Amino acid sequence: MFYTCTVACGVSTLGGLVVGLDAAATAWVLASTAMVVFMTLGLGFFYGGLVRRKNVLSMIALSFLALALVSVQWVLWGFSLSFGPNVLGGLVGGSRYFLLRGMGVDTLWPGTGLPALLYVAFQMAFAGITLAILTSAFAERVSLGGFLVFGLLWTTFVYDPVAHWVWGGGWLHEAIKNALGAAPVDFAGGTVVHIASGFSALALALVVGKRIGFDEREFTPHNIPLTLIGAAILWFGWFGFNAGSALAANGDAANALLVTHLAASAGALAWGLLSWARTGRMGTLGVASGAVAGLVAITPAAGYVGPIAALVIGALAGAICYEAVGYRLRVRLDESLDAWAVHGVGGFLGAVLTGVFAEKAIGGVSGLIEGNAAQFLAQLADAVFVALYAFVVTYILALLVEKTIGLRVSETEEYLGLDIVQHGEEAYSFGE
Within-domain flag for 269: yes
Tens-digit pLDDT string for the chain (432 aa): 444 443 343 444 333 344 589 999 999 999 999 999 999 999 999 999 999 999 999 999 999 999 999 999 999 999 999 999 999 999 999 999 999 999 999 999 999 999 999 999 999 999 999 999 999 999 999 999 999 999 999 999 999 999 999 999 999 999 999 999 999 999 999 999 999 999 999 999 999 999 999 988 889 999 999 999 999 999 999 999 999 999 999 999 999 999 999 999 999 999 999 999 999 999 999 999 999 999 999 999 999 999 999 999 999 999 999 999 999 999 999 999 999 999 999 999 999 999 999 999 999 999 999 999 999 999 999 999 999 999 999 999 999 999 999 999 999 999 999 999 999 999 997 765
Decide if 367 contacts 313 (C-beta within 8 A).
Answer: no
Within-domain flag for 14: no
Within-domain flag for 432: no
* Domain count along the chain: 1
Residues 408-432 pLDDT 10s: 999 999 999 999 999 999 999 776 5
CA distance 71 to 134: 16
The alpha helices in 280-418, defined as continuous H runs, are: 284-298, 307-330, 345-357, 360-363, 373-404, 411-416, 418
Within-domain flag for 150: yes
Within-domain flag for 154: yes
Within-domain flag for 137: yes
Within-domain flag for 390: yes
What is the number of H-type helices and E-type strands within the chain? 17, 6
SS3 state of residue 115: strand
Instruction: Give the domain range for residue 276.
Output: 20-423
Within-domain flag for 288: yes
Answer whether 0.85 is exceeded by the pTM: yes
Judging by DSSP bridges, how do beta strands 108-109 and 114-115 pair with one another? antiparallel
CATH number at residue 104: 1.10.3430.10
How many Å separate Cα 272 from the centre of its chain?
23
